[in-house]
Amino acid sequence: MNLDFTAEDKIFREEARDWLQANVFKERRPHGGEAMRAYDLAWQKCQYDAGWAGVSWPKEYGGMGLDLTRQLIWYEEYARAHAPDNHLCFVGLNHGGPTIIARGDEAQKRTHLRPILAGEKIWCQGFSEPNAGSDLGALRTRAVVDGDELVITGSKIWTSHGHLSDMQELLVRTDPDAPKHKGISWVIFDMRTPGLELRPIEIMTAPNHTHFVQCFYDEARVPLANVVGGLNNGWSVAMSTLGFERGTAQIKDQIRYAFLVEQMIERARERYGSEYITHDELGSRLAQLRADMAAARAMTYMVVSRAQHDIGGSLASLMRAMVGDVQQRVRRLAFDIIGADALENPEDDDWVYFYLRSYAQTIAAGTSQIQRNIIGERVLGLPR
């Protein structure tokens, strides 16, 4: 492993830190509705207008074209500055955009990439179905070729912020006679398409706002030109998409949580005193989390050093599996530190909201079991 920061890297860090400190939104980010959409798009536009959007995207598509070392520096400073989560832009920036860059044609790139970076379009994901969640290859939403269009019928579930989105990355079965992981296509779907119905799903973190929706497609028509990577080649394209989510998209979360652990230690000292947390079980749990986050950061540096240009593929599952588990334990301990006061004090980093949300961390982007299977089979070379 060799990850030295050059003098130029250090200058870049200072520039990133200065810009973030001067421009990070001070207003609290809403947790739902059109207000959240407006906030996230405004923050994305702020970065774009200043030339700080798309740190991993090639320059020819409007990004900064940074190598992994510079991306790592940016995410470290982003976390240090407590920059907004910008969650609504996640799928576009880390799924749809990178997938179109890697697998799309020039017309798709010209049409869809700039609106993502410029904070004009929100994307959502249409992968999971009621009987095809972790077993994604079992999806049954079908698309029939009719002239120069696909006619789509079926449903998708657990679509985060589908009701607030403009576009969707959609997996459909275009050849029902092909083997399980064949005959699938990755499609760019406009959420204003006739034949689409959205039904909200109530969840514990958003009693007053819709987070998930179920999507129903009733002969919704999409141009064949919206197929990315070729008809019936969607499984390969989807693996590229998930590789981006498990890889570079995890760097920011890992670094953010390392800073959060340090904040928790300070909060515990303020609340209970240094002597108490030094000898109590609370102190042991904080120490273990600090060690875990140090290990996670070391793993990130290792993966960045080995990958050089891309963190997709099997190595990404190392990061995803570890960070997902640690995130849950961090949020549980943060909630324990505040105790019952968290129910009455929403200004404390929204402890309840993020604690409840943490249960999704070992499910999203492939469950922990799936990540461990990938690690065992593709990294360690164990038999199936």
E-state strands within the chain = 123-126, 142-146, 149-160, 167-173, 184-190, 196-201, 212-223, 227-228
Phi, psi of 342 (to 5 degrees): -60, -25
Helix (H) or strand (E) holding 200: strand 196-201
Q: Which of 123, 132, 111, 95 is nearest to 223 (CA)?
A: 111
CA 181 – CA 228 distance, rounded (Å): 16
- The two beta strands, 149-160 and 167-173, are unpaired
Asked if residue 295 lies in contact with residue 287, where contact means CB atoms within 8 angstroms, the answer is no
Beta bridge partners of 383: none
206, 32 Cβ separation under 8 angstroms: yes
Most distant pair of Cα atoms in the chain: their distance: 74
Look up 245 and say whether it is catalytic: yes
Catalytic residue among 245, 262, 266, 377: 245
Give the amino acid at 100: I
* CB distance 342 to 351 below 8 Å: yes
Alpha-carbon distance values, 138 to 56, 173, 264 (Å): 32, 10, 42
CA pair distance 27, 100, nearest whole angstrom: 33
Side chain identity at residue 251, one-letter code: I
Q: Which residue has the tokens 């120490």?
A: 287
Element (H, E) at 41: helix 33-49
Element (H, E) at 302: helix 281-307
Residue 120: Cβ-neighbour burial (10 angstroms; 0-12, 13-18, 19+): middle
Positions marked active-site: 245
